[in-house]
Amino acid sequence: MDQTHIRNVNREHKESLSKLDHLALFITDHIGTMGFFLIIFIWTASWLSWNIFAPALLRFDPFPAFAFWLFISNMIQIFLMPLIMIGQNLQNRHSELRAEADYEINVKAQIQTTEILKKLEVLETRLEKEGIRK
């Protein structure tokens, strides 16, 4: 029976990534977590609370506009959007490689199953001829 090599697409994909690709994937993987949400939430709540309730001389981003907070928030969003899209494209490429490998394995399994069934039919025919099986 032909025991052809099965590719490790996970390793192939990982080896094909540049350092910038790894960075994009790291950011994409960590942006969509509760940890990141909590960091942004705590930062926002702290910033807004400080600039509402702190003594007037210590406030650095006046209520109600919070122009500096809006600027920083928008900059974060502007930088994260393309990084997340890059990471999603890389994840999609990896998914396509895995799907292709799964298909190849399924085709090989189907061929091997067909070969085994043919051999079983031959054995069954021989056993019937020899009177062992009816």
Residue 4 located in a structural domain: no
Residue 36 located in a structural domain: yes
Whole-angstrom CA distances from 10 to 13, 24, 39, 102, 115 are 5, 17, 31, 12, 29
Residue 30 located in a structural domain: yes
Residue 65 located in a structural domain: yes
Count structural domains, the chain: 1
Residue 62 located in a structural domain: yes
Rounded to two decimals, what is the model's pTM?
0.68
Whole-angstrom CA distances from 101 to 15, 105, 109 are 16, 6, 12
**Tens-binned pLDDT, residue by residue, of the chain (134 aa):** 455 677 888 898 999 999 999 999 999 999 989 999 999 999 999 999 999 999 999 999 998 999 999 999 999 999 999 999 999 999 999 999 999 999 999 999 999 999 999 999 999 999 888 887 66
User: What whole-number distance in Å separates Cα of residue 81 and Cα of residue 18?
Assistant: 20
Quote the distance between the C-alpha of residue 88 and its chain's center: 7
Domain hosting residue 52, numbered range: 18-129
